[in-house]
Structure 1
Amino acid sequence: MAEEIEEIRRQKLEELRTRGETVDADESERQSPSEPVPVGGNADLSETVEEHGVVLVDFYADWCGPCRMLEPVVETIAAETDATVAKVDIDANQQLAAEYNVRGVPTLLLFADGQPVERFVGMQEEAQLRSVIEKHA
């Protein structure tokens, strides 16, 4: 039994080492974060859009029911696609929301190569968002 546990430990340690080497080798390529990135203002949004090829910006409010329903979809998009997901709280960033003509929440803007290319208002299906992201990736 002790030998089996030791073998499992050895295998797990080897997996971790291999995984670490893979991450190090890929660091030269810019990868999107696997979690949504909070945006604190225009400078943050501009930097995020400039650093990443495809960025899905989620304009939301904490008090918004559909925004809360969309949150798991947005988190999955961040974790499972090459798009970077940025979250903008419209109450904390009213000027930024006005600049992008956000009249209702949730509003999603998709940026590709630094330019806004798609806009969605209201609850969205994950499959539709994935399709649009793949189209612009």
Structure 2
Amino acid sequence: MSDAEDIDDIREQKKEKLAESVGSPGEPIHVDSEAHLEEILEDSHLVLVDFYADWCGPCKMLEPTVEEIAAETDAAVAKVDIDALQNLAREYQVQGVPTLYLFADGEVADRMVGVQDKGTLVKKIEANA
């Protein structure tokens, strides 16, 4: 095997492992550590990260939209509980929730604070596809 084939095999194995950890495709991935988020960013071309809190009203309003984005787009959707992962929230300078980050190939493509409508999020995802 060539190095490129080896890399492709490794990527496929990681994608399968990630899919298993999610439960079923099209659902948001609940991030449980900084390393877990890094793994998601490495394994997926596009990742929408929702920094939220259980006590946040606007976060609850945004939740159905985030779930629809996960089900209807090719982007992986990750949810980060800012209370459980305070260091991660601090690293990404989350000062208000909800805060959404869109990553393309592991790099920040966009940052949004507050409730966003589905159309806006889909357009931003499609623009970075």
User: Shorter-chain TM-score category?
Assistant: 0.7 to 0.9
Residue 77 of structure 2: which of 57, 68, 85 is its match? 85
How far residue 41 of structure 1 moved from its aligned partner, in angstroms, is: 1.4
Please point out which of 105, 112, 115 is paired with 1:123.
115
Bigger radius of gyration among the two: 1
**Counterpart position of 1:63:** 55
Structure 2: segments with no counterpart, 5+ residues: 1-11, 20-24
Residue type of the partner of 1:92? A
**1:16-31 map, 5 Å:** none
Q: Following superposition, which runs of at least 4 residues in structure 1 exceed 3 angstroms of deviation?
A: 30-33
CA distance in 1, matches of 2:82, 2:35: 15
- For structure 1, list consecutive stretches of 5 or more residues without a partner in the other structure: 1-27
Query: SS where residue 84 of structure 2 aligns?
Result: coil
Matched, 1:99 2:68: no
**Deviation by residue 1:101-125 (Cα, 9 ceiling, x = unmatched):** 0000000000000101100000101
Aligned to 2:64: 72
When normalised by structure 2's length, the TM-score is 0.81
Residue 59 of structure 1, CA deviation = 0.1
What is the alpha-carbon distance in structure 1 between the residues aligned to residue 66 and residue 42 of structure 2? 20
Q: Which residue of structure 2 aligns with residue 22 of structure 1?
A: none
Counting aligned pairs with the same residue, the percent is 61
